[in-house]
Amino acid sequence: MDDSFPHNIAQVAEWLHHADSVAVMTGAGVSAESGIATFRDAGGLWEGHRPEDVATPQAFQRDPTMVWRFYNARRSQLLQCQPNPAHYALAQLERDCANFCLITQNVDGLHRTAGSRNLIELHGDIWIDRCWDCNHAQRVDKVSAEPIPACPKCGGMMRPGVVWFGETLPPGAINDAQAAAARCEVMLVIGTSSMVQPAASLAMFAAQAGAKVVEINPQATPLTHSADLVIAEKAGTAMPAILEAIEES
């Protein structure tokens, strides 16, 4: 932890304390602190699988059983994981802020479990089953006993409710995220590589509208040099410290 950490925490806390509107964007780094393997790292979720074999519409059409085997393994892993201090701190920040929006690229549902409610899940939710044929969606809380779950409405094949490679983000989600970024006074960008578009552009939306942009990430990213303030620490360290500083202000 560098010597600037207490000063930076105090500065962010001051901005948040006086802000009427706050937006937060989170990425895989936040979930990694809960023990969830990221997709790109060695030993990550794609190891042993090509994305085109398990995470595209074509893969599902070709072999839905294999796709479901992959996602059920992910769900089984998630059942062993819990939200970490960053998730809980963000949920508390939402309760303390009049106008708050949490935008996440994560599909694991841990923000929701921690208590976040004003939530935009850009890449979907792994705990949603969606019908391939009629688009009926339902939330689940366990791994299906069926190799391919059947739609209760039309009998068609259910698919995981995540955004696959080659699919566009839900129009409502990206529009709402851009609106939240454009109206916020402070934007926290936490644990994301800031490389995946269009999510990576949201910080620029906020900055162009006059918001203070704060990056929380132990790794430098393309956003680092343009952020108003950078806290080069893990979210689970930084977010509880920020919350504590707000409460003391």
How many whole angstroms separate alpha carbon 151 and alpha carbon 10? 51
Helices (H), 19-109: 28-32, 51-54, 57-62, 64-78, 85-96
Determine, yes or no, domain membership for 30. yes
**Residues 181, 155 share a domain:** no
- Average pLDDT of the segment spanning 77-83: 94
Phi, psi of 149 (to 5 degrees): -60, 145
Predicted pLDDT at 170: 86
**Residues 96, 206 share a domain:** yes
Query: Cis peptide before 198, with omega less than 30 degrees from 0?
Result: yes
pLDDT tens figures, 84-105:
999 999 999 999 999 999 999 9
How many whole angstroms separate alpha carbon 149 and alpha carbon 158? 5
Whole-model pTM: value is 0.92
Q: Tokens 């979907």: give the residue.
A: 124
The confidence band for 42, taking pLDDT boundaries of 50, 70 and 90, is very low
Predicted pLDDT at 39: 55
Number of domains the chain contains = 2
pLDDT tens figures, 153-174:
999 999 999 999 999 998 899 9
The confidence band for 223, taking pLDDT boundaries of 50, 70 and 90, is very high
Determine, yes or no, domain membership for 229. yes
Tell me if 101 sits within 8 A of 184, measured CB to CB: yes
With a pLDDT cut of 90, the percent of the chain lying above it is: 84
The parent domain of residue 70 ranges over 51-80+130-162
**Residues 238, 155 share a domain:** no
Determine, yes or no, domain membership for 45. no
- Is 123 considered catalytic here? yes
The yes-or-no verdict on residue 1 having pLDDT over 80 is no
How many whole angstroms separate alpha carbon 5 and alpha carbon 78? 32
- Average pLDDT of the segment spanning 112-119: 97
- Average pLDDT of the segment spanning 222-226: 96
The confidence band for 231, taking pLDDT boundaries of 50, 70 and 90, is very high
**Residues 209, 94 share a domain:** yes
How many whole angstroms separate alpha carbon 191 and alpha carbon 218? 8
**Residues 101, 26 share a domain:** yes
Determine, yes or no, domain membership for 46. no
**Could you count the other beta carbons within 10 Å of the beta carbon of residue 195?**
11
Residue from 7, 87, 123, 136 carrying the catalytic annotation: 123
**Residues 214, 139 share a domain:** no
Give which of 94, 91, 79, 89 is closest to 127, Cα–Cα: 79
Determine, yes or no, domain membership for 40. no
